Amino acid sequence: MSEGKQFAVLGSPVEHSLSPVIHQHFAAQFGYDITYARQLLQRDTFEPFVRKFFAAGGVGLNVTLPFKLQANECARWHDVSAHQAAAANTLAMTDQGIGAWNTDGAGLVNDLRHRHGFEPGGKKILILGAGGATQGILGPILACRPASLALANRTLTKAQNLARNAQHLHPQCHISAFSLTELNERSGDFDLVINSTSLGLHDGRIMLPAEVVRNTFCYDLSYGASARFARWARDAGASSVADGLGMLVEQAALSFAIWLGDKPQTQQVYQLLVERTQHDG
């Protein structure tokens, strides 16, 4: 049993983060005594805080928006997950100095497979958006060897650049990019549609053709009241929908294992958070 281990989640905003609740539940499974804080930072205070935290014996940090790129840049050692995503959501001290990981994509894949019974391998997948959230999940999704993966983004060149870079790392996969306006011509082509952004939302309305999601499994990386795409997709005729709460719990479990070497069970805390977010919503 270890005592008094220090952890925190860094972000702006960060006051509504569920990470402290998740990690306290994980720690209880193994009898760890931990302190897990929320820390609001600004861009110029981020790196000094990180260095001071680890210098004082802190064990691990989670990083949320808007600091994932900065977290990656301030690390001395990078896991392949952080290297591929060019962003980090998990920091820990290693023999080489501060180390960076990105557990978002693997957390998503674990949630898809183990909670929703969806195997990405061999499937046709569409990701809406080409920003940082997509960068974080792209490598692990492609490592599953889907039949095809398409990126749709309002700015076509951004999706094309991301697809081109991903194709170099995963030459065995068929990766394409197109603009959101082209979705009208792609309806019914996908087994899974992942919404990685608020793109397509305007004044509370989803500005996408319903045919894109009809009879398709739709996954919204947002969760709770923010998962408007998931609610829209259900009404538009999706075969099933999920929000990103399971991904949040699964990526946290991977971070916990990086820090402490123990892989926690996730279902109990997931169920607790489902009830909590439903109540809050």
Domains belonging to the chain, first-starting first, are 5-102+248-280 (3.40.50.10860), 107-243 (3.40.50.720)
Q: Which of 52, 68, 124, 263 is catalytic?
A: 68
Q: What is the pLDDT of residue 147?
A: 96
10-residue averages of pLDDT along the chain (281 residues): 80 94 97 97 97 97 95 96 94 97 98 97 95 92 96 93 92 92 75 82 67 94 90 94 97 98 97 84 51
Q: What is the pLDDT of residue 204?
A: 56
Conformational region of residue 198, where left means phi above 0, alpha means psi within -120 to 50, and beta covers everything else:
alpha
Q: What is the pLDDT of residue 188?
A: 64
Which residue type occupies 69?
L
Q: What is the pLDDT of residue 180?
A: 84
Helices (H), 111-244: 132-143, 156-169, 228-235
Q: What is the pLDDT of residue 203?
A: 52
Render 17-86 in DSSP notation, one character per residue: --HHHHHHHHHHHHT--EEEEEEE--HHHHHHHHHHHHHTT--EEEE-TT-HHHHHHH-SEE-HHHHHHT
* 52 part of the active site: no
CB atoms within 10 A of CB 99: 20
